[in-house]
Chain A
Amino acid sequence: MSVPYAAAHRLGKAFYGKTVLEDVSFSVEPGDIVGVLGKNGAGKTTLLELMLGFTPPSGGNVELFGHASYRLPGAAKARLGFVPQQDELVNQLTAADQIGVIASFYPRWDDELVTRLAREWEVDLSERIKGMSVGQRQKLSILLALGHRPDLLILDEPVASLDPVARRQFLEQIINVAADGARSVVFSSHIVSDVERLANKIWIVKDHRLYWQGDFDALKDSIVRLHVRAPRGLPDTLPIPNALSVQRDGATATVVVRDWSAELYGETAEELGVELEVEPLTLEDIFLELHR
């Protein structure tokens, strides 16, 4: 059995006594495109930084390519790419010089790919970084993370500064380049539609835990909205299992449930004497319902 690119077991992190993440376990296999969702302050960045070994875990462990990420050897780092939320480019250099510096750290560097992408993304390599717009800087940061064709690319809010058109094209291109079946991408984003369109696995960070992880289809099958109709009026209490939210309106109610299964809820409907209509949710709806 092959070693997963990234794996964590009961991972936790506390800063100065305050818990930021707890009991997080996951695995990233070759070919995975993982979208990480969560509200501000949910712990997304901390999760990614723990994966990268920027800070040691307070509990549990996390490994990259089979090595503890906090003590990642140089050879393993050569298989890793990272784009931080805020770029760390050297203002005084030109884009070409910055690329030259970063490229020199890697044993392999795909000049052709970087030149092609720079042309397609309209990044002027002769321009000094100080004079670049925020979007251009973000693109350059991503070029720097892609040039050595990493096996695992981790992006923390990579396209937040781009307009919707550029964002959509750009993110698709990143995924095409970085996840060619044998490679993996983990990216966090506030833009749920991006995650929905591109990711084949979803992680939802909520209340300092990995509230949900799995395939997007499984998530959509699990969390649904039920429209409850009672011909003779709703009972005072609606004992629907795993209800995330309940909204009553006269003889009808709308209930969002987790771990939906047709059998279980068929039995519940019979017991309560109500009719249930199931409405599948978009990822954005699911995200909003979870954080209601």
Chain B
Amino acid sequence: MKAVARLMLVYFTGTRLLSVVTVLGIVGIVSGTYVALYVPLVAQNGLPSRFSLAEEALLSLLPVAGLLCFVFGAALLPSVFMRLATGHYAYVLPYARVKLLASAFGTVALVALIVSATVSLFYQKAGFPLERMFERGFCVSLLSYTVLYGVLWFISRSNSIGKLVGTAAAIATLVLPLRFMIPGTPFPWMLWIACAVLWAALAAGVLLAPRLKLAYGRARYWLAERFGGASYRGGGREIDFMLGTANPWPLAIGQIVPIAIATYYFRDYHPYAEEAPNPLLLLITILSVVSGGMTAVAASRARALWLRAHWTRAELFARVERAFWGHNSFVLGVLLVMVVAVGSWLELPTKMLAFGLGLLMLGTTLSTYLGLLVTASIGWMECVLAAGTMIALMMASTYIGSPSVPATTIVALQGGLALAALALRQFAAWRWANLDWMLCRADSTVRPAT
């Protein structure tokens, strides 16, 4: 019990950032719930309120933000759990597997409990039966957050395509509960069964890991004996191999899946839906920065190249830049083709398509140079630049999807973004010219920060 409690505490408070996020989550949930239950708001009951609508909107966001913070407060769960469950500690610590499993289940159940209790209170105020809403919310949350923490671990371990798929899956796990929490609809009992099956499979995987590992090894050996072992067959340039830019196709093709799903989902969405941003354009803009974001690992991966090849730091930057453009241009190319295809099918306005294509090119360019800026650990400056760039891109995307914004404004904004890209390139080149390899070590130090 002591170990389970300690592990759960570490999942939520293992780092200073997560401690703050968890506390903010609890504060947000408590204060948001109090406001929702006891403070009269116009939006809820039409009665006079002492807040403006904008203030009410912010107050309504409090519990949602709190819940999100609380969910992500336990972000250490996947990494600590997997580190202990897959290494020597699982064999050496007393009852390690059982305690680890209990701590993971306890954490996910606690998060699901808090989320479902909060949501149920809101629904109860609207007149729905508390018990039924709580049961529904708990089951769905338990299922989706189990998947979410699994996905977070997957994202931290995987390559670019894995990150892309993982991010899409993480967003899905946050949105999925809403789909099943609609009051008044019959509760799908299959969800309880899915929960039970998922946790039974997880428990079996953890508790029987040594035997499964052994069986897997034997099966692999048996297959290799009969059908011959697999061997690596690769080609291409060394620089691409070292930087991970040799094969852009998994990422390029991988983008098609979320775009196809989103296109199907938003097929009836009006191209100029009032002043609301076009969700499809927003999604594709986000995708345009993914391949660029990969360059954040460029500096640490280029270290071995610099040691071997007799290039100056400036020459190295030029070659790395070229290698990443060789990779990213394929990814961007597929994205552009997809936009044209989807735009033709959905009959999107020409203005939206024309500016949209330009925006995607800018997205990839900006993120490529933002990534190349990362020549040491990620600090405040990188965070601010990334957040600012992302906000500008989202703003441009919203303007493109809005009929009332004149073309000149969009051109001016995109021109500004192009200038920002040039400035970022110069800044990245300067940083590479002064690159300190001591601050730019293994991939593993950059990856968690990224």
**A-to-B contact residues, CB < 8 Å:** 16-17, 52-56, 70, 74-75, 77-78, 80-82, 84, 88, 90-93, 97, 100-102, 104-107, 128, 130
Shortest Cβ distance from residue A196 to the other chain B in the assembled complex, whole angstroms: 28
Q: Which residue of B lies closest to A16 (CB)?
A: B221
User: Which residue in A78, A82, A88 is a CB contact (below 8 Å) of B83?
Assistant: A88
Neighbouring B residues of A88 by C-beta, 8 Å: 83-84, 87-89
CA separation between A84 and B88, bound complex, in Å?
8
Given known pairs A52-B92, A77-B92, the reply for A105 and B87 (CB within 8 Å) is: no
**B94 pairs with A105, CB closer than 8 A:** yes
Q: Within 8 Å of chain A (Cβ to Cβ): is B7? A: yes
**B448 pairs with A104, CB closer than 8 A:** no
CA separation between A54 and B214, bound complex, in Å?
10
**B91 pairs with A52, CB closer than 8 A:** yes
Neighbouring B residues of A97 by C-beta, 8 Å: 10, 14
User: Which residue in B10, B79, B91, B445 is a CB contact (below 8 Å) of A100?
Assistant: B10
**B79 pairs with A92, CB closer than 8 A:** yes
Shortest Cβ distance from residue A71 to the other chain B in the assembled complex, whole angstroms: 10
**A105 pairs with B93, CB closer than 8 A:** yes
**B-to-A contact residues, CB < 8 Å:** 2-3, 5-7, 10, 14-15, 76, 79-80, 83-84, 87-89, 91-96, 99, 210, 214, 217, 221, 224, 444-445, 448
Given known pairs A16-B221, A90-B83, A100-B6, the reply for A82 and B214 (CB within 8 Å) is: no
Neighbouring A residues of B3 by C-beta, 8 Å: 101, 104-105
**B445 pairs with A90, CB closer than 8 A:** no
Q: List 19 A-B contacts (CB under 8 A).
A: A17-B221, A52-B92, A56-B214, A74-B94, A78-B94, A82-B88, A82-B92, A84-B87, A91-B448, A92-B14, A92-B79, A93-B10, A100-B6, A101-B80, A104-B3, A105-B95, A105-B99, A106-B93, A106-B94
**A74 pairs with B87, CB closer than 8 A:** no
Shortest Cβ distance from residue A109 to the other chain B in the assembled complex, whole angstroms: 10
Q: Which residue of B lies closest to A56 (CB)?
A: B214
Neighbouring B residues of A82 by C-beta, 8 Å: 88, 92
**B93 pairs with A77, CB closer than 8 A:** yes
Q: Which residue of A lies closest to B214 (CB)?
A: A56
Neighbouring A residues of B14 by C-beta, 8 Å: 90, 92-93, 97
CA separation between A54 and B86, bound complex, in Å?
11
CA separation between A70 and B95, bound complex, in Å?
14
CA separation between A63 and B32, bound complex, in Å?
58
**A92 pairs with B93, CB closer than 8 A:** no
**A75 pairs with B94, CB closer than 8 A:** yes
- Interface of chain A: mostly helix, strand, loop or mixed: loop
CA separation between A212 and B84, bound complex, in Å?
35
Kindly list 13 other residue pairs between chains A and B, CB separation below 8 angstroms, not including A77-B93, A97-B10: A52-B91, A77-B92, A88-B84, A88-B88, A92-B14, A93-B15, A100-B6, A101-B84, A104-B2, A104-B6, A105-B95, A105-B96, A106-B93
CA separation between A82 and B87, bound complex, in Å?
12
Shortest Cβ distance from residue A88 to the other chain B in the assembled complex, whole angstroms: 4
Neighbouring B residues of A107 by C-beta, 8 Å: 94
Shortest Cβ distance from residue A89 to the other chain B in the assembled complex, whole angstroms: 8
Shortest Cβ distance from residue A136 to the other chain B in the assembled complex, whole angstroms: 16
Neighbouring B residues of A56 by C-beta, 8 Å: 214
**B80 pairs with A90, CB closer than 8 A:** yes
Neighbouring A residues of B444 by C-beta, 8 Å: 91
Neighbouring A residues of B445 by C-beta, 8 Å: 130
Shortest Cβ distance from residue B155 to the other chain A in the assembled complex, whole angstroms: 15
Neighbouring B residues of A101 by C-beta, 8 Å: 3, 6-7, 10, 80, 84
Shortest Cβ distance from residue B72 to the other chain A in the assembled complex, whole angstroms: 14
**A104 pairs with B7, CB closer than 8 A:** yes
Shortest Cβ distance from residue B12 to the other chain A in the assembled complex, whole angstroms: 12
CA separation between A154 and B84, bound complex, in Å?
19
Neighbouring B residues of A102 by C-beta, 8 Å: 89, 93
Neighbouring A residues of B87 by C-beta, 8 Å: 84, 88
Given known pairs A56-B214, A101-B10, the reply for A77 and B88 (CB within 8 Å) is: no
CA separation between A130 and B14, bound complex, in Å?
13
Q: Which residue of A lies closest to B87 (CB)?
A: A88
CA separation between A130 and B89, bound complex, in Å?
19
Shortest Cβ distance from residue B364 to the other chain A in the assembled complex, whole angstroms: 31
CA separation between A225 and B245, bound complex, in Å?
59
User: Which residue in A52, A55, A84, A130 is a CB contact (below 8 Å) of B214?
Assistant: A55
CA separation between A53 and B88, bound complex, in Å?
10
Q: Output the residue of A53, A70, A105 with the most chain B CB within 10 A.
A: A105
User: Which residue in A52, A74, A80, A90 is a CB contact (below 8 Å) of B95?
Assistant: A74
